[in-house]
A and B are shown apart, each in its own frame.
Chain A
Amino acid sequence: MTISPDGLIFQQWGWFSLNATIVYTWLVMALLTLISWLVTRRMSTGTELPAWQNLLEVLVTGIRDQIRQVSQQNPGRYLPFVGSLFLYIAMANLLNIVPGYMAPTGSLSTTTALAICVFIAVPIYGIAYQGPVNYLKHYVKPTWLMLPFNIIGEISRTIALAVRLYGNIMSGTVIVAILISLTPYFFPVVMALLGLLTGMIQAYIFAVLAMVYIASATSLHSGESDDEQQSSLTDTPEKDNRTSPNTD
């Protein structure tokens, strides 16, 4: 029984093996792009909307509102990254209902890749908003003693991000596989439905946590900086509460 889609190799070219993770990721990417292109090639700017365009607008607006709610900032700059995280994970998990499909998010390689993306995006956004000195300063706050702990926290939350998504999706796949071998009818369907729900929730959690990390990097120390406008836009205590727990 293949637990990870990494193990299902379609083609091998020397050191590069074309496994199911990459192939199904391409499938998800193709689907998302195709749907987007089909809907957005004839956009209506009037008050009469096609149903599909309306759906996409609701989706994008919903993501924007969530980002704004979490970050208390203008969502424009975060939307492509955070929105893509959510849409990719959600679509990858949603396709689990298709027989023969294996969610790429059930591979630790994929979730690690996404977590690394977040791990890199956080300092990029932080430096872009605050400058390198201001951003790096927050690793030594409140004292120099906290520097190793801050670094450990940074790495550990990235690992937690990767493992959380991987564990949830992989466990769902594994449970369904085990149940199929034990009771082929009814129960696997229920578990698959549950897996869909879990997949959606994990997509939301992953995206929101990514946003929280980025928001903490872009606004955590703004209260100490001289930028009055930025300080007025942010709510530091709330950020502290949100960033501290690494919850599942």
Chain B
Amino acid sequence: MQIDWITVSAQIVNFLILVWLLKRFLYHPVMRAMEQREQRIADRLNKAEAREQQASEQQQQYQHKTEELERKRDEMLIKAREQAEQGKRQLLDEARAIVAETRKQWQQQAAQEKADFFNRLKQETAEAIQAIARKALKDLADAGLEEQLIEKFIEQLKVADKDLQQTLHHNTGPLRIHTAYELDSTVRARLTRFMHEHFSADIQVEYSTTPELLCGILLVSGDRQLGWNLNEYLDDLSERMDEAFSSVRPSAKQED
């Protein structure tokens, strides 16, 4: 157990050299490498964090955009639906108006046709009835019937209005009497006598036959005439038929 002080000093120097060598070749490089690595890892982590933040921001942006788009789409859908609804209503209204117009026209046309038909029916019916009546009267009528008619005519003259009687009194021209059949002389004489007795003695009476009268008598004095025949009855019939049809037409209209 000896201490060689020369060796001790040499070892001290050796150790100090070793400290320097290891510091130069071991600690310093290793520490630097580790620090650099830590720095790089920290940088990478920072970058990753920044990127993550960026990504999340972008995601948020996209989400906002998507929501905006969805909102717009909904709005557009609602708008389109409203427009479609409005258009539909408009079209329906138009269609209804057209239908109403068409119906109105059709109804008018139908009413017109009906009226035409009734008019024609009335006319034809009247014509037919007249024709039948005329034919019947024509078949039945004869001089005897006419004589009765003339009797009746005379009765009428008796009760005729004053105005006509005055006209006949002051009549200067010839008095013309139309009949459907030719009157025989006795009847003529009777008529002439009646005229002379009632109105004026110097009255001139002329007789003539007019088949259109059917059965009856017509007295013509100047611009005035007085008559009595079956035509009047027939005209009366026609008027009544008109009235009857008129009363039927409204009820027929109500059925539409």
Contact = CB atoms under 8 A, between A and B. Distances in A.
A19 B7 contact: yes
B159 interface: no
Given A46-B40, A60-B27, A87-B22, A25 B14 contact: yes
Interface residues of A, number: 43
A3 B78 CA distance: 105
A116 B16 CA distance: 12
B30 A113 contact: no
B140 interface: no
Interface string A6-33: 1000000001110101100110010011
Contacts of B5: 109
A14 B240 CA distance: 181
Contacts of A36: 21-22, 25-26, 29
Contacts of A110: 7-8, 11
Nearest to B32: A43
A88 B12 CA distance: 12
A121 B143 CA distance: 184
B interface majority secondary structure: helix
Interface in B1-49: 1-12, 14-19, 21-23, 25-27, 29-34, 36-37, 40-41
B18 A29 contact: yes
Nearest to B12: A113
A185 interface: no
Interface stretch (A75-83, A129-137, A150-158, A217-225): A75-83
**Sorted from nearest, which 5 A-B pairs have the closest CB atoms?**
A113-B11, A40-B29, A109-B7, A36-B25, A36-B26
Interface of A: 4, 6, 15-17, 19, 21-22, 25-26, 29, 32-33, 36-37, 40, 43-47, 53, 56-57, 60-61, 79-81, 83-84, 87-88, 104, 107-110, 112-114, 116-117
